[in-house]
Amino acid sequence: MPGSRNNSLKNPKMYEDLRGEGASKEKAARISNAAAKQGKSKIGKKGGESGSYDDWKLPELKMRAKELGLTGYSAKTKSQLIDELRNH
């Protein structure tokens, strides 16, 4: 992760914990910054937990990759695509 993006994180420890749990860079940054601004308990009450990419079917993974603007996803295996989504 480039240092310039790291400077914009409001809660770097939470970001790293979320990344360790498999959250994408974008999602981890969004959650950690919202928690720093609004408080962890308020953010925790907001919503449920989305399913693991491992539970998704390949067409759903490809659709998500397209939504995120990733390229080259059509030739990837399910495991390669999951890795790409988690590390974009």
- What are 8-41's pLDDT values in tens digits? 787 888 888 888 888 888 888 888 887 766 665 5
Put simply, whether the predicted model's pTM sits higher than 0.85 gets the answer no
Are 38 and 12 within one domain? yes
Are 57 and 41 within one domain? no
Are 38 and 57 within one domain? no
* Residue-range definition of the domain harbouring residue 41: 3-46
DSSP string, 49-68: -PPPGGGS-HHHHHHHHHHT
Are 64 and 32 within one domain? no
Are 42 and 61 within one domain? no
Going by C-alpha positions, the residue among 34, 33, 51 that lies closest to residue 42 is: 34
Are 13 and 41 within one domain? yes
- What are 48-66's pLDDT values in tens digits? 455 688 888 999 999 989 9
